[in-house]
Amino acid sequence: MESAYRRGSLIVLFTVLASGLLCLATARGPRGGASAAQDLGDGAYDLGAFHLTERSGDAVTDATLADRVWIGSFIFTRCQLSCPRITSIMRSLQERLAGDDVLLVSLSVDPDHDTPAILADYAKRFGAIAGRWLFLTGDHDAIYEMIAKRFHLTALANPAPDPDGKDEAIVHSDRLALVDRGRIVGLFDSQDSKALDELISQAKRRALPRWVRALPAVNASLNGLCTILLLTGWVLIRRPGSDRSTRVAPAVFSASDALHHPATRGHVIAMALAVTAAALFLGSYLFYHFHAGSVAFRGQGSTRWLYFTILLSHTVLATLGVAPLVLITLYRALRGDFARHARLGQLTFPIWLYVSITGVVIYLMLYQMPVSTSTSSY
């Protein structure tokens, strides 16, 4: 292996080791907020059929919300303790999610009292926007069955409420549920600011158009294609005779001389396509994260350490290594300086190859790795 290849490989190895040590040094135990923001992951489940009534008097069923992303809360209008706080938080979500296709839904746990008219007055007090924030009531037994058996949350009459009003007449969860097109995908503690931030981030991302949500897979495919093109270009340029212009008096050969060899032409085409794939990836990546924000990694333990080691080394090498090196290497080729182009290309190749491969690995770990979580009532 030429010395430039060795240097490039050593740069990759050093960056990976340094990233691993840094991640290990800053690693923490299980995050205390894990229960506050419970991403159900592969444990997401169907909400099932329901038939409720909105404050406007309109019927709202599972079919009505089948294609929507929505955040659900559980309240009742006679509640003087937790419900005003929960509804105020929902009002803040209405403001923070302005412009996003996320629906808010408040479900009454006191349906015998909370008629559509009462809910309409309650919604008006909190500035609920019609069409963006629904207030639902319905059959008592159906609602309680829905909360207990589908959301796996608590709602029950308090058998001995405090006469001074220090206890609520109905004990119910203050968690907020995230529902994505008929599936319950997360439960979030309304009293935890980090959980609420995670709720907003997930809701925004899930509400994006389907083609935008497909971009991470597209980006991984572009990284995979770039890997194949890099290896193809590398194999072609190492064929006997293909790099004659860089070995024998390189200064006397023009670009047309270098392209005389079929393998060299193939190398040029492969590398040009690799640069194109990388540029398309960068544009698509920036576009996606501009709209979707950051995506939290859900794994724990050693898997979490491994993920952030790969991510950190990938980011450092992509930003400080691949971007400038590829541009300079390409510039030297365009100028016909093939000897210096070849030397820098050998240094660039293992770094670029690592960044392309790990781009696919990061996608698989972040979006495709199974995450099992158990559900419990709160």
Q: Which residues are annotated as a binding site for Cu cation?
A: 79, 83, 172
Q: How do beta strands 102-108 and 155-157 pair?
A: unpaired
Distance, in Å, from the CA atom of 275 to the CA atom of 117, rounded to the nearest integer, reads: 62
Rounded (10°) angle between helices 193-206 and 82-96: 40
Residue 310's alpha-carbon distances to 12, 18, 216, 375, in angstroms, are 11, 11, 17, 30
Residue 356's alpha-carbon distances to 69, 291, 352, in angstroms, are 33, 23, 6
Residue with tokens 């009454």: 108
Question: What are the structure tokens assigned to 178, written together?
Answer: 């995230």
Distance, in Å, from the CA atom of 39 to the CA atom of 41, rounded to the nearest integer, reads: 5
User: Of 160, 197, 55, 173, which Cα lies nearest the Cα of 114?
Assistant: 55
Please give the backbone phi and psi of residue 102, each rounded to the nearest 5 degrees, phi first: -115, 130
User: Of 144, 64, 348, 349, which Cα lies nearest the Cα of 232?
Assistant: 349
Question: What are the structure tokens assigned to 36, written together?
Answer: 């506050």
Question: What are the structure tokens assigned to 281, written together?
Answer: 């990836």
User: Which amino acids are annotated as binding site, given as ranges?
Assistant: 79, 83, 172
* Cβ neighbour number for residue 92 with a 10 Å cutoff: 12
**How many residues are there in the chain?**
378
- Please check whether residue 182 is in contact with residue 78, taking contact to mean a CB–CB distance below 8 angstroms: no
User: Of 324, 355, 311, which Cα lies nearest the Cα of 19?
Assistant: 311
